[in-house]
A and B are shown apart, each in its own frame.
Chain A
Amino acid sequence: NAGVMQNPRHLVRRRGQEARLRCSPMKGHSHVYWYRQLPEEGLKFMVYLQKENIIDESGMPKERFSAEFPKEGPSILRIQQVVRGDSAAYFCASSRGTANLANTGELFFGEGSRLTVL
């Protein structure tokens, strides 16, 4: 049972280009979370998706960033017109379901995609 798969692991873009980061959740998981980690900082929540639905995008920048999780295929985090400040590690996590008093909703993380904007 493969874990959470992210690709590419490393991506270099020039300012103004587009970056697409992909995340395939663990088998049987329908909940996907994206986080951003700037150098020397903790993980910041960006967006939470279920199949074909965005549940919580409160951590997403208002412009240039979008995310989707289609019925078929991986979740995609898309950054348009990248700027140097977008350089970071982007982590995806998946869970089987939500957390509540009966279920842990444990998250499993991928290895991350490291974006460098020149």
Chain B
Amino acid sequence: KQEVTQIPAALSVPEGENLVLNCSFTDSAIYNLQWFRQDPGKGLTSLLLIQSSQREQTSGRLNASLDKSSGRSTLYIAASQPGDSATYLCAQRGNDMRFGAGTRLTVKP
């Protein structure tokens, strides 16, 4: 059964810290892995998409890595800001797309 797990479920950090969000998946038949951001009451905003042939993608202060052999992806956020507070979801794209439960991030000023 395809499962996507995110750790931790919630994270609170002071402004300026670098942080890592973890995502693990069980299905090796992965085409890509995508990280999303969701603000309360809103839809999903795509942050980064890593294809199965790639190892990482970067956008601004965000860096996502993918290790298919271990079934893991990490989202690294540098110099966190209060505006980064949101829920971060990872999703594994096989024949469909399966989501983790998310990490709820709070960045305190």
| Contact A104 B31, CB 8 Å, known A42-B100, A43-B99, A45-B98 | yes
Interface residues in B, total, Cβ within 8 A: 26
Stretch among B44-52, B60-68, B75-83 lining the A interface: B44-52
Q: For chain B residues 59-109, which have a beta carbon within 8 Å of chain A?
A: 89, 91, 93-102
Contact across chains for A107 and B97 when beta carbons are under 8 A apart: yes
Contact across chains for A42 and B31 when beta carbons are under 8 A apart: no
Interface string of B17-49 (1 = CB under 8 A from A): 000000000000001101010000111101001
Complex formed: what's the CA distance from A45 to B51 in Å? 21
Let me know if B53 is at the binding interface, CB within 8 A.
yes
- Total number of A-B contacts with CB less than 8 angstroms? 62
Contact across chains for A111 and B93 when beta carbons are under 8 A apart: no
Q: For chain A residues 92-112, which have a beta carbon within 8 Å of chain B?
A: 93, 98-101, 104-112
Complex formed: what's the CA distance from A35 to B32 in Å? 19
Let me know if A48 is at the binding interface, CB within 8 A.
yes
Let me know if A41 is at the binding interface, CB within 8 A.
yes
Contact across chains for A104 and B46 when beta carbons are under 8 A apart: no
Q: Can you give 16 contacting A-B residue pairs, CB < 8 Å? A: A42-B101, A42-B102, A43-B44, A44-B99, A56-B95, A93-B97, A98-B95, A105-B31, A105-B93, A106-B32, A106-B46, A106-B49, A107-B93, A109-B44, A110-B43, A114-B41
- Report A's interface with B, CB cutoff 8 A: 33, 35, 41-45, 48, 56, 91, 93, 98-101, 104-112, 114
- Report B's interface with A, CB cutoff 8 A: 6, 31-32, 34, 36, 41-44, 46, 49, 51-53, 89, 91, 93-102
